[in-house]
Structure 1
Amino acid sequence: METITLTSMFWNGRSLGITEMLQAYREGPIVVFFALTTQLADVWFIFLLGGTLYVAGEEMPRLGIDRRRGLFVLALALTYVALIGVLKNIFVLPRPPGAAEPPEIAWIPSVIEPIFHSTATAYGPGFPSGHALGSTMVWGGLALVLNWGSYRTRLSIAGAVVALVSFSRLALGVHYLVDIVVGAAIGVVVLWVLYRLADNGVDPGRVLLVAVVIGVVGLLLGVTFDSVTAVGGAVGGWLVWRGIADSTPAHPTNRQEVVTGFLVLGVTAAVFGVIYALEPPLVVTFVGAATAAGGAVGAPLLGERIV
């Protein structure tokens, strides 16, 4: 007879009953709502968020900051992608049963059904929660570097976003409660370390270097599409920043420069999209990810030079 220990109970039944209880409500508009809110910490969204702050700089209405702090947020996103790959490959713990099965909602148009299914499901290892980790790092990083409102107000909003995203993962049935708690806890620790390492967010190059190191560790654990993409993006961003850090203006000189920078950022986003859609050979994946991340980091300077 198999001996049941506290350790095996923790690793094999991490929900504490919460995920199972919420599955009774996994239908209709509620699922659609949580499938949308979980996007607040999806990779595409946090990259868009960090990239927008970085390119727009102080031209960003109400939320404008100097570009080095904006790049700090973007670097947090790159670090998160590399870090979650390492953690999941170390623990390799399963998701709740049915996490990869999309809920059937008859009134969703067939055209957008594949998109909905991809947002409401999840595959691969489940511990710790990447969305909890990523939302804590990126939204917490935003709270630390923005000048809008009071420090307490910014932290409260960031905490609310993290809580909403984390609950959405439970409601969608793709994570256990322990996955969420541990992911958020790791996010708090990593964010605090990186914020101090980056001199309160004004030296993003150090965070980019950390992303490279973590990406290399992920590559050593397993050469996969995800690990190659993570290390490629980190290397590309770090190398480009090393070359242009002193040349990149901390503040935009005019809005035309910002608009041009956004066009460059859009091209890099398209490159990332093609890579994830096609999953090309690993060498092409590495070069493409490095080019895309490097282009995103170079977008403000390219915008200035083009104008």
Structure 2
Amino acid sequence: MRLEEASATIREAFPAAYADLVVLVTELGGTTVPMIVLAVLFWCGNRRRSALVISYAVAGLALLLSIKALLGLPRPPADALLVPLEGEREGYGFPSGHAFAAAVVYGGLVAAYDRTRDALAVTAAGTVIALVSLSRVVLGVHYLGDVIVGALLGIAFVGAMDRFTRGDPRLGFAVAVVLAAVAVPVAGVTEDSLLGLGGSIGGLCSAGWIDRRPDPRSRLEAGALVVVGGAGAVALEAAEAVVAFAPALVALYAALVAWIFLSPIAVGRLDIGVADASRR
């Protein structure tokens, strides 16, 4: 079921000299890069649609943690690793979280922005999902079956969430809270499970404020928001290194998502670039 032999063939066929490139590609399905992508899209583009995908990502994280813990299938053996990877030996191996996350985030963007009939958008998202999935096999942290199931599960999850939420990110975060509340006892108190719980709470509490400010009214305002919002997010991320108490981590992750959603209100009051935009 996990296609161990096919996975070994893929690993052996890949040149080890390109290991660094594979490590970069795999980050597209991690936690940090998708968070940055979604935050910047929220600050610079259609906030309601981007917030919807953020709710998908948080809810999906909680769901996958529970599934992996309940199945309890191990990762490939240590000698399958292409390069030493810190933390990649921890946790369970089926299905692949990176493949799932890539499908939820990039497939979710295609769905939320109504681009499912745009061949270019679908191809671009599919390519990223495929590359992230393949990178996990090449690195030796997942079998081919793990990533196929992870990607398919992510696509199915986006479809289900798209139908249920009907474009309302508050409903997405309500689902995320329920799934995260299940994930913590099922998967244990881990950084990821606390991120899911805190992120879902922060999103649910702040998503109602999204429509209080219009989408960026000028490029200057969008740029200022990326700087201000990014600085606040970096500061909250840095605080994570010194916080060990689980409830405090939940509060920190809740504040991180809330900051992403609420920072446009603070920057918008400064009316940066509005005068220039009105002259056009």
Query: Structure 2-normalised TM-score?
Result: 0.87
> What does residue 238 of structure 1 align with?
204
> What does residue 181 of structure 1 align with?
148
Given the alignment, which residue of 219, 223, 229 partners 2:184? 219
> What does residue 287 of structure 1 align with?
251
* Native 8 Å contact 1:130 1:183 kept in 2: yes
> What does residue 274 of structure 2 align with?
none
The alpha carbon displacement at 1:97 in A equals 0.3
Between the aligned partners of 1:24 and 1:265, the Cα distance in structure 2 is: 40
Query: Structure 1-normalised TM-score?
Result: 0.79
Cα deviations by residue, 1:124-151 (Å, 9 ceiling, x for unpaired)? 1111100111111111112223478961
**Higher helix proportion (structure 1 or 2):** 2
> What does residue 160 of structure 1 align with?
127
Between the aligned partners of 1:54 and 1:279, the Cα distance in structure 2 is: 27
The alpha carbon displacement at 1:189 in A equals 1.0
> What does residue 50 of structure 2 align with?
70
Runs of 5+ unmatched residues, structure 1:
1-9, 58-65, 105-116
Between the aligned partners of 1:90 and 1:273, the Cα distance in structure 2 is: 32
Given the alignment, which residue of 218, 223, 229 partners 1:259? 223
Q: 1:148 to 1:215 in 2, by over 3 A?
A: closer
The alpha carbon displacement at 1:273 in A equals 4.5
Q: 1:30 to 1:180 in 2, by over 3 A?
A: same
* Native 8 Å contact 1:144 1:151 kept in 2: no
**1:29 and 2:17 are equivalent in the alignment:** yes
Indicate the SS of the match to 2:189: coil
Indicate the SS of the match to 2:216: coil
Q: 1:147 to 1:217 in 2, by over 3 A?
A: closer
Aligned pairs (5 A) from 1:105-124: 117-118=85-86, 121-124=88-91
The alpha carbon displacement at 1:256 in A equals 3.7
**1:297 and 2:261 are equivalent in the alignment:** yes
Cα deviations by residue, 1:162-194 (Å, 9 ceiling, x for unpaired)? 111111110110001221111111111110011
Q: 1:17 to 1:299 in 2, by over 3 A?
A: same
Residue 289 of structure 1 aligns to which amino acid in structure 2? Y
Cα deviations by residue, 1:275-303 (Å, 9 ceiling, x for unpaired)? 2x445110211111111111112122222
Between the aligned partners of 2:191 and 2:39, the Cα distance in structure 1 is: 23
**1:126 and 2:93 are equivalent in the alignment:** yes
CA RMSD of aligned residues (A): 2.4
Indicate the SS of the match to 1:127: coil
* Native 8 Å contact 2:82 2:138 kept in 1: no
Q: 1:210 to 1:265 in 2, by over 3 A?
A: farther
Residue 265 of structure 1 aligns to which amino acid in structure 2? G
What number of residue pairs does the alignment pair up? 269
Between the aligned partners of 1:27 and 1:134, the Cα distance in structure 2 is: 26
Q: Which moved more, 1:185-194 or 1:75-84?
A: 75-84
> What does residue 137 of structure 1 align with?
104
Seq. identity, %: 29
* Native 8 Å contact 2:229 2:263 kept in 1: yes
Runs of 5+ unmatched residues, structure 2:
272-280
Between the aligned partners of 1:279 and 1:239, the Cα distance in structure 2 is: 22
Residue 234 of structure 1 aligns to which amino acid in structure 2? S
> What does residue 27 of structure 2 align with?
39
Q: 1:122 to 1:303 in 2, by over 3 A?
A: farther
Indicate the SS of the match to 2:256: helix
The alpha carbon displacement at 1:265 in A equals 3.4
The alpha carbon displacement at 1:25 in A equals 4.8
> What does residue 63 of structure 2 align with?
83
